Amino acid sequence: MKGECLCGKVKFEIEGELPNLYQCHCSMCRKATGSSANAATFVKESNFHWISGQSKISTFQKPTGYRSDFCSVCGSSVPNMLRGTDFIWIPAGLLNGVVTSQISVHLHMTSSASWESESDNCIRLDAGPDSLESLNQALQRTSR
């Protein structure tokens, strides 16, 4: 399976079967993604190969050890070594093609965003909205 960042500068390949995915709901993953959770998996280093763009990767690391590698061109999170292991962390959103893996673990649910839980009355669209105005109207209707 191949993957790449948003701009396509950083590319990689994974050999073998892709493991299932997890979602981390901690505050650091929410801040790093701007979303409710970070979807990812990890693979053995021996099954991972960079195709291109390693020189485009920048790293941010907190004193606690939290690390985020990202494409310096588009800002996409990119794979990185899990410290002290022989595993590579893989952001699921970078994977190309059909991914048959499923989310099988949710982490840090006690610190998940208060707005994260699904609502039965959510509007669900198969594609993007017809316009920004129609999306704004839908947001106003569902927030009441």
Domains of the chain in sequence order: 2-113 (2.170.150.70)
pLDDT over threshold 80, residue 75: yes
- Burial of 5 (C-beta count, 10 Å sphere; 0-12/13-18/19+): buried
- Residue 139 has a pLDDT of 79
Label residues 76-97 b or e (16+ Cβ within 10 Å = b). Answer: bbbbbeeeeeebbbbbbbbbee
Task: Check: CB of residue 93 under 8 Å from CB of residue 39.
Answer: yes
Note the pTM of the prediction, 2 decimals: 0.85
Region 93-99: mean pLDDT is 93
* DSSP state, residue 115: T
Region 39-44: mean pLDDT is 96
pLDDT over threshold 90, residue 74: yes
> Rounded to whole angstroms, how far apart are CA atoms 71 and 79?
10
Tens digits of per-residue pLDDT, 50-69?
999 999 999 999 998 888 99
**pLDDT tier for residue 144 given thresholds of 50, 70 and 90:** very low
